[in-house]
Structure 1
Amino acid sequence: MKSIVIQQPNQLDIAERPLPEPGTGEVRVRVKLAGICGSDSHIYRGHNPFAKYPRTIGHEFFGVIDAVGDGVSEPRIGERVSVDPVISCGHCYPCSVGKPNVCTSLVVLGVHRDGGFSEFAVVPAKNAWTIPADIADDDAVMIEPFTIAANVCGQVNPTTQDVALVYGAGPMGLTTVQVLKSVYQARTVIAVDRIGERLAMAQRCGADEIFNNSQQSLPAWLEEKGIQPTLIVDAACHPTILPEAIRIASPAARIVIMGFSSEPTTIVQQQVTGKELSIFSSRLNANKFPQVIDWLRQGLIDPGKLVTHRYDASQVIEAIETFEQDQRHCCKVLLTFAK
């Protein structure tokens, strides 16, 4: 089989590898579609501290089960499945409190273990979620990105009273905008970004207001409009955002951080305590695949609004470079492995 392998930073090969056999409790998936994420680019460029090389990247993928290991029911062969990349132990403290996404022995497909940028991938059977017939392939491959938004919202329980502000109109921000508006029906959703074309995407995803913070001050604009956000999501993942979010937040607001920066951030404790703000973080997803599948079945989300480019898997280098370099027009890139 052919697999996309990062041999070392900036060295990508389409390698011929042996067909893997599923072990006990595993299934083999014939991959049909996979999505490119920023973390795939970071592993390719050597910027992901968790990755070990060589590595087959890819944690957003969809396909059909074509073989099962011991302990897995044979009727699963032929199932269309979307794969949750989070593999957890199930018994440590985080797992016991419903947070397998931060398991003490966490393994993420495509990061710690070979992922889905391959013609075939072996994964735990419990991570292969059956896709109903009424969900299209192109939507099924986008389930994992929407689980990121589901995890964010699961932390803060949005309501119809919320005035939500989302920093960043990349894929993470746009899924969050859609979910806040279409699923939770937040009263107002504001998208903030420095790229006009990304803000236009945010409008198509349901944002009520958009703001380009490369041109003027966001705090000044909010003050002029008399807006105090009750829910703020940092999907731009920059260390300068948290201090500003604390400053502009309404009393009793919730703030969610999604970034992984190692740079220090300085905040004023009085501003947090004085407003009794709640600050959360969100990583990956904690068993959110069934929730997103249900949203798709109800027609509450539209993944197609994020997909801007498609490539054959053999064009993966061009696809990643487009994802990295064309931030004005490129949002979600899909790779085709099998028809």
Structure 2
Amino acid sequence: MKAICIEKPGEIHVAEIALPQRKEGEALIEVKSMGVCGSDVAAYRFNHPNCHYPLIIGHEIAGIVREIGPNATGIAAGDRVVLDPYLYCGHCYPCSQGHTNCCESLHVLGVQVDGAMCEYVAHPADMLIKIPDSMTWKEAALAEPLTIGIHGIHTMGVQAGEHVTIIGAGTIGLMAALTAKACGAVPILVDVVDGRLQKAREMGLEYTVNSLTEDAEAYIRDLTHGRMSETVMEASGAEAGIANALRYASYLGRIALTGWPKGDVTLPTALITRKELQVRGSRTSVNEFAEAIDLISQGKVDVNPFITVAVPFEELPEHIIGQAQHPDTYLKIVGLL
């Protein structure tokens, strides 16, 4: 079968590999659509420390169940599904607490292990989530990144009527903002690129501010009548963004750190203490696929505007190279089989 393979950083192509063999407890999936994640592009651009090479990439995957064992429950051959790509051990402390996203030996498809950007993939049957017939394959490919935005909103415990300041208007930040809006909260997008903020406004996100050219703190203070933001999600990973999260938060504010910094970051802990801020990490997602599918299928979160291009499977390498060279040109690439 065909697969998208990175032989080493800077070398990506359509490869011929063996068909997967379904093991006990797994289902065989005919892949129909796949989204390109920033981690896929990073694996192409850099010698990613978490990746092995050569590497089959891809973890934003949807398809049709073609084979499944007799003891599977809730999933049958012919079902349309998305894949939960976060493989966990099931016995470490976080797993015992139900936080499988924090598994001490977590393996993500297309990162620590080969991914599913290929024609067929074998995957644990209990990590498949059914999607309705009304959902397009393009939409289904965006369920996984939406779960990360949802998880950030859950991490902060966002309530209707609260302000949610989101630093970083990339895919995850925008999806978190749309989720917050669907929950009845008031999202505020902060970024340093006007094009991203324009995209946010086109998606119906009213409150945006460029922290490079405007006083974002004053903007948030004015919008919240002096309170500042009850919740803040840091989705950029930039050191300045992390520091600003503390400034943008209200007293007793709740902060979710979703972005991945490239190095160590210094935090002014006196400000955390003075405001009694709750600062929490927010990693991937856990048990949030059903909610993502519901938000998409009911039209509460429209993921179609995220899709910059939807291309045939064989054209994915050239578009991944394009995104690596011109990151601001793409929001989301979707491949179709």
TM-score norm. by structure 2 comes to 0.93
Partners of 1:24 and 1:70 within 8 A in 2: no
Q: Could you tell me how far apart the structure 2 residues matched to 1:47 and 1:240 are? A: 25
Q: Relative to structure 2, which stretch is displaced further, 264-273 or 230-239? A: 264-273
Q: Could you tell me how far apart the structure 2 residues matched to 1:255 and 1:115 are? A: 31
Report the AA paired with residue 197 of structure 1: G
Q: How far does residue 148 in structure 1 lie from its aligned partner after superposition?
A: 0.3
Task: Give yes or no for the alignment of 1:154 onto 2:186.
Answer: no
Task: Give yes or no for the alignment of 1:287 onto 2:265.
Answer: no
Q: Residue 240 of structure 1: SS of its match in structure 2? A: helix
TM-score norm. by structure 1 comes to 0.93
- For residues 162-241 of structure 1, what are the structure 2 equivalents within 5 Å? 162-182=162-182, 184-186=183-185, 188-223=186-221, 226-227=225-226, 228-241=228-241
What fraction of aligned residue pairs are identical, expressed as a percent? 32
Report the AA paired with residue 122 of structure 1: A
Report the AA paired with residue 261 of structure 2: S
Q: Could you tell me how far apart the structure 1 residues matched to 2:247 and 2:192 are? A: 20
CA offset digits 1:288-311 (Å, max 9, x no partner)? 111212223332211112112122
Report what 2:31 is aligned to. 31
Task: Give yes or no for the alignment of 1:54 onto 2:76.
Answer: no
Partners of 1:25 and 1:70 within 8 A in 2: no
Q: Relative to structure 2, which stretch is displaced further, 75-84 or 167-176? A: 75-84
Task: Give yes or no for the alignment of 1:272 onto 2:276.
Answer: no
Q: Could you tell me how far apart the structure 2 residues matched to 1:284 and 1:74 are? A: 24
Task: Give yes or no for the alignment of 1:67 onto 2:67.
Answer: yes
Report the AA paired with residue 171 of structure 1: T
Runs (5+) with no aligned partner, structure 1? none
Q: How far does residue 102 in structure 1 lie from its aligned partner after superposition?
A: 1.2
Partners of 1:257 and 1:281 within 8 A in 2: yes
- For residues 71-86 of structure 1, what are the structure 2 equivalents within 5 Å? 71-72=71-72, 76-86=76-86
Question: Structure 1 47/224 Cα, relative in aligned 2: closer, same or farther at 3 Å?
Answer: farther
Partners of 1:23 and 1:70 within 8 A in 2: no
Q: Could you tell me how far apart the structure 1 residues matched to 2:39 and 2:220 are? A: 32
Q: Residue 208 of structure 2: SS of its match in structure 1? A: strand
Q: Relative to structure 2, which stretch is displaced further, 202-211 or 20-29? A: 202-211
Q: How far does residue 33 in structure 1 lie from its aligned partner after superposition?
A: 0.7
Q: Residue 146 of structure 1: SS of its match in structure 2? A: helix
- For residues 109-124 of structure 1, what are the structure 2 equivalents within 5 Å? 109-124=109-124
Q: How far does residue 38 in structure 1 lie from its aligned partner after superposition?
A: 0.4
CA offset digits 1:107-166 (Å, max 9, x no partner)? 111112211211111111111211122322222111101100111112111112311111
Task: Give yes or no for the alignment of 1:15 onto 2:10.
Answer: no
Report what 2:299 is aligned to. 299
Partners of 1:30 and 1:65 within 8 A in 2: yes
Partners of 1:149 and 1:179 within 8 A in 2: yes
Partners of 1:181 and 1:206 within 8 A in 2: no
Q: Could you tell me how far apart the structure 2 residues matched to 1:208 and 1:56 are? A: 39
Q: Residue 64 of structure 2: SS of its match in structure 1? A: strand
Runs (5+) with no aligned partner, structure 2? none
Report the AA paired with residue 191 of structure 1: L
Q: Could you tell me how far apart the structure 1 residues matched to 2:9 and 2:328 are? A: 26
Report what 2:133 is aligned to. 133
Q: How far does residue 52 in structure 1 lie from its aligned partner after superposition?
A: 1.2
